[in-house]
Amino acid sequence: MENKPIKFVLTGGPCTGKTTTINHLGKMGYQTIQEAASLLIEEEIKNDIPLWKKDVIAFQKKLILKQIEFESQINPEKITFIDRSIIDTIAYCKIFKTEPTKEFVYLAKTHTYANIFVLDFLNFYETNEIRLENKKIAKKIHQTLINTYTEFGYNPIFIPALELSDRINFILSKISTQSINHFEETRPQTRLHI
């Protein structure tokens, strides 16, 4: 019987410290997957093809395929931390007032995760060429992500704006073997109303 990968997602609005936290977990020896959206946007900026601005569905489809590609390379023997997931794509469709396709919803249902960590906003907020949203929009994104994961049957674990070392310790305290078994056994059924 093939082992099922144990995947934990780190999510939250822009500037919540996801990338910093993921990078630190990687340095500690955990298997990690970087945020596919940032990588694609950086690539499009470099090639002057801003698809994410012109065609939301086409970009989100490209993003999902990249996410699936990344997740297919996971070593199932290792615990993996992922910077955002396919479900984030559904949330961003909502934010852009675009109906997610049936294919998107199906893929989000069939790629499951042990649990979701939602990182709260840091005590500062910065924008850049990829993170263009102001704080008000960022908060809307944050809440939409939480709502969407809940609709897909997850009970996210919330991580406050602590020092990095405290955030790491908080996360690791939640991923004991006992906790993982609990997540796998008690995940509720999907409650989608899309």
Residue carrying the six token digits 């960590």: 117
Q: What are 99's two structure tokens?
A: 């109906």
Task: Tell me which amino acid residue 27 is.
Answer: K
Spell out the domain ranges in the chain.
6-177
Q: How high does pLDDT run on average in the chain?
A: 81
Lowest mean pLDDT among 60-74, 91-105, 124-138, 162-176: 124-138
**Tens digits of residue pLDDT in 104-146:** 899 889 999 999 999 999 876 565 555 456 778 889 999 999 9
Q: Which CATH architecture has domain 6-177?
A: 3-Layer(aba) Sandwich (3.40)
pTM, full prediction: 0.80
| Residue keyed to tokens 């997957």 | 33
Which run of H or of E encompasses 54? helix 51-54
Interval 179-192: pLDDT, tens: 454 444 444 444 44
Give the residue, 63 or 150, on which the prediction is more confident.
Answer: 150
In sequence order, which ranges of 73-134 are alpha helices (DSSP H)? 86-95, 102-110
Between 190 and 69, the more confident residue is 69
